[in-house]
Chains A and B, each alone.
Chain A
Amino acid sequence: MKLELQGITKRFGSLVANDHIDLVVEPGQVHSLLGENGAGKSTLMNVLYGLYEPSEGRILVDGQPVSFSGPGDAMAAGIGMVHQHFMLVPVFTVAENVALGNEATKATGMLNLSQTRAKIKAISDQYGFDVDPDAIVEDLPVGVQQRVEIIKALVRDAEVLILDEPTAVLTPKETDELLAIMGQLKSDGKSIVFISHKLREVKQVSDLITVIRRGKVVGTADPDSSTTELASLMVGRAVSLTLDKAPAQPGEATFRITDLTVLAPNGQRVVDGISLEIRRGEILAVAGVQGNGQTELTEAVLGLQGHVSGSITLEGHELVGRSVKEIIRAGVGFVPEDRNVEGLVGPFSVAENLILNRYDQEPFAKGLGLKPAVIQQNAREKIAEFDVRTQSAQAAAGTLSGGNQQKVVMARELSRPLKLFIASQPTRGVDVGSIEFLHKRIVAERDGGTPVMIVSTELDEVLELADRIAVLYRGRLMGIVPGNTSRDVVGLMMAGMPAEEALGQEQEFGTEPGSGEL
Chain B
Amino acid sequence: MSNEQKTERQLSRTAAHDEEVRLEAAAELGDGNQAPPAVPAGAQSGELQPGLRESQSLMQRIATGNALVAVLAVIMSLILGGLLIAITDERVAEAAGYFFARPGDMLSAAWTAASEAYLALFQGAVFNWEADTFAGMIYPLTQTLTVATPLICAGLGVALAFRAGLFNIGAQGQMIIGATLAAWVGFTWHLPVGLHLLLVIIAGIVGGAFWAGIVGLLKAKTGAHEVILTIMLNYVAINLVLYLLTTPAFQRPGSSNPISPQLDDTALYPLMFGDGFRLHWGFVVAIALTVLVSWLLNRSTIGFELRAVGANPTAARTAGISVTKGYVVVMVIAGALAGLAGVAQVAGTEHVLTAGVAASFGFDAITVALLGRSTPWGTFAAGLLFGAFRAGGVVMQTNTGTSIDIVLVVQSLIVLFIAAPPLVRSVFRLPAPGAVRKGPKARKNATAGGAA
Contacts and interface: CB of A to CB of B under 8 A. Distances in A.
Interface string B305-316: 101100110111
Contact of B304 (A43, A70, A337, A352): A352
Contact of B33 (A59, A102, A339, A369): A339
A370 B302 CA distance: 9
A372 interface: yes
B13 interface: yes
Interface string A419-438: 00000010011110000000
A357 B443 CA distance: 48
A360 interface: yes
A219 B307 CA distance: 47
Nearest to B435: A13
A185 B316 CA distance: 48
A84 B320 contact: no
B314 A365 contact: no
A58 B42 contact: no
A122 interface: no
Nearest to A66: B450
Interface stretch (A46-54, A266-274, A463-471, A489-497): A46-54
Contacts of A342: 314-315, 318
Interface in A333-368: 334, 336-348, 352, 356-357, 359-360, 365, 368
A407 B45 CA distance: 30
Residue from B2, B8, B13, B42 with most neighbouring chain A CB atoms (10 Å): B42
A84 B49 CA distance: 14
Contacts of A53: 438, 442-443, 446
B54 A346 contact: yes
Contacts of B301: 359-360, 365, 368-370
A389 B351 CA distance: 59
B403 interface: no
B311 A290 contact: no
A372 B303 CA distance: 13
Interface stretch (B24-32, B90-98, B212-220, B333-341): B24-32
B449 A57 contact: yes
B300 interface: yes
Contacts of A324: 317-320
Contact of A37 (B20, B32, B308): B32
Nearest to B53: A340
Given A71-B8, A87-B44, A431-B30, A398 B52 contact: yes
Contacts of B39: 90, 138, 142
A72 interface: yes
B436 A168 contact: no
A100 interface: yes
B31 to A, nearest CB: 4
Given A343-B318, A346-B311, A101 B2 contact: yes
A49 to B, nearest CB: 8
A220 interface: no
A481 B256 CA distance: 86
B12 A71 contact: yes
18 contacts: A12-B436, A37-B33, A59-B450, A84-B40, A87-B42, A324-B317, A324-B320, A338-B35, A340-B33, A343-B315, A344-B312, A356-B315, A357-B321, A359-B305, A370-B300, A391-B27, A401-B31, A403-B32
Closest 6 CB pairs of A and B: A37-B32, A13-B436, A402-B33, A325-B320, A67-B450, A85-B43
